[in-house]
């Protein structure tokens, strides 16, 4: 399918609502980002790229990084990872502490902050610089050697990470964090501060659309069964506590971030990324969510 006319139509239709919502203000560096950006890219498994707007403008990927950090940790740990983090939707905000106490320090899933801290702890144990390992992994997936994090965003996030620190200390009290809390928080904030464009992220996530194999290099990132399960986690847990509504409206596995990005996959066909920094109440991009809903409506393609 030629996706370019569809993206052009989506971009035109959404121009009146781009900027509606609020940028993430609790991280000062993100608060300064203009809400009027919009970029969308679709990268087919044959390498064809369709894009509109600010698709090649780098932005802070934030919680989108959790998908790739989890993949990297799963490569190293396999199913033993699930002894430390669950696979169920949380139904609570991504930075909630409530379930941790009730569930003895085991995060509900790897895409909420507590779960991502456990994943980061695994990567800290296995890498000298966990954030660099994740950035290099993303670089291999999208075919770029210069993927890195923005130190200003990382510092800004680290200085406002009291709630994440509370979760980390709480999990450590239950024996579910092996490294020093400060080291884990440093790596976590730097990983969230990785900067990439929508086009590069659409290329990076395409391995999941290709049954776990990177279509650009032929690298087997995950076996087909594990790729299926990773995609299932995206569908059920990838868009914060709006995952059910997102699946209902969009019908694609996706992972969002408070930087305004959302990656998604259409299995067997393409990787997708949309970026628009203004968020709705649950932390997902307002215009980005509408764009993906329009994409599946106009193409008639989803996983359902």
Q: State the Cα torsion 289-4-200-302 to the nearest 10°.
A: 50
Provide the total of helices (H) and of strands (E) in the chain, helices listed first. 14, 8
Residues 295, 203 share a domain: yes
Q: How many domains does the chain have?
A: 2
Residues 147, 117 share a domain: yes
Look at residue 68 and tell me if it is in a domain. Answer: no
Whether 69 and 116 have beta carbons less than 8 Å apart is answered as yes
Q: CA distances (Å), 201 to each of 55, 65, 114, in order? A: 10, 10, 24
Q: Give the whole-angstrom CA distance, residue 15 versus residue 287.
A: 9
Q: Does residue 100 carry a pLDDT above 90?
A: no
Give residue 98's pLDDT. 74
Per DSSP, the three-state class of 20 is coil
Give residue 94's pLDDT. 63
Look at residue 69 and tell me if it is in a domain. Answer: no
With bands split at pLDDT 50, 70 and 90, how would you rate the model's confidence at 222? very high
Residues 183, 83 share a domain: yes
Look at residue 71 and tell me if it is in a domain. Answer: no
Q: Write out pLDDT tens, residues 155-214.
A: 999 999 999 999 999 999 999 999 999 999 999 999 999 999 999 999 999 999 999 999
Look at residue 70 and tell me if it is in a domain. Answer: no
Look at residue 251 and tell me if it is in a domain. Answer: yes
Q: Give the whole-angstrom CA distance, residue 207 versus residue 218.
A: 9
Give residue 164's pLDDT. 95
Residue range(s) defining the domain that contains residue 209: 4-62+196-299
The chain-wide mean pLDDT, for the chain, equals: 96
More confident residue, 92 or 129: 129
Catalytically active residues are 63, 66, 188, 240, 258
Q: Does residue 254 carry a pLDDT above 70?
A: yes
Look at residue 285 and tell me if it is in a domain. Answer: yes
**CATH number for 290:** 3.40.710.10
Give residues with Cβ within 8 angstroms of 111, minimum separation 6.
63, 66, 67, 70, 94, 233, 234, 237, 238, 255
Q: Give the whole-angstrom CA distance, residue 107 versus residue 90.
A: 9
Residues 200, 178 share a domain: no
Give residue 99's pLDDT. 76
Share of the chain above pLDDT 90, in %: 94
Look at residue 54 and tell me if it is in a domain. Answer: yes
Q: Give the whole-angstrom CA distance, residue 87 versus residue 237.
A: 8
Share of the chain above pLDDT 70, in %: 98
Of 192, 212, 241, the domain-final residue: 192
List strand residue ranges (DSSP E) for 189-260, in order: 194-196, 254-256
Of 173, 192, 211, the domain-final residue: 192
Residues 169, 90 share a domain: yes
Residues 159, 211 share a domain: no
Q: Write out pLDDT tens, residues 83-96.
A: 999 999 977 666 66
Of 170, 192, 214, the domain-final residue: 192
What tokens appear for 23 in the block? 């940028």
């Amino acid at each position: 399918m030629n996706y370019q006319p569809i993206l052009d139509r989506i971009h035109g239709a959404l121009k009146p609502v781009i900027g509606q919502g609020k940028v993430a203000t609790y991280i000062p560096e993100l608060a300064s980002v203009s809400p009027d950006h919009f970029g969308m890219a679709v990268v087919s498994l044959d390498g064809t790229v369709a894009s509109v707007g600010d698709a090649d403008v780098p932005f802070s990927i934030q919680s989108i990084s959790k998908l790739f950090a989890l993949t990297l940790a799963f490569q190293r740990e396999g199913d033993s990872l699930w002894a430390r983090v669950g696979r169920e939707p949380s139904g609570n905000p991504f930075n909630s502490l409530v379930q941790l106490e009730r569930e003895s320090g085991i995060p509900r899933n790897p895409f909420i902050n507590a779960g991502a801290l456990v994943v980061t702890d695994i990567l800290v144990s296995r890498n000298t610089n966990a954030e660099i390992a994740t950035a290099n992994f993303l670089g291999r997936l999208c075919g770029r050697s210069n993927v890195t994090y923005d130190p200003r965003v990382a510092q800004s996030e680290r200085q406002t990470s009291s709630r994440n620190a509370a979760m980390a200390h709480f999990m450590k009290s239950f024996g579910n964090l092996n490294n020093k809390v400060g080291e884990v928080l440093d790596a976590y904030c730097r990983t969230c501060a990785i900067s990439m464009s929508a086009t590069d992220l659409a290329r990076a996530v395409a391995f999941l659309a290709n049954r776990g194999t990177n279509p650009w290099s032929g690298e087997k990132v995950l076996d087909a069964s594990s790729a299926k399960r990773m995609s299932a986690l995206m569908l059920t847990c990838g868009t914060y506590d709006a995952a059910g509504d997102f699946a209902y409206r969009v019908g694609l596995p996706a992972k969002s971030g408070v930087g305004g990005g959302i990656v998604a996959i259409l299995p067997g066909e393409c990787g997708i990324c949309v970026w628009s920094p203004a968020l709705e109440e649950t932390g997902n991009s307002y215009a980005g969510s509408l764009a993906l809903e329009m994409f599946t409506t106009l193409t008639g393609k989803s996983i359902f």
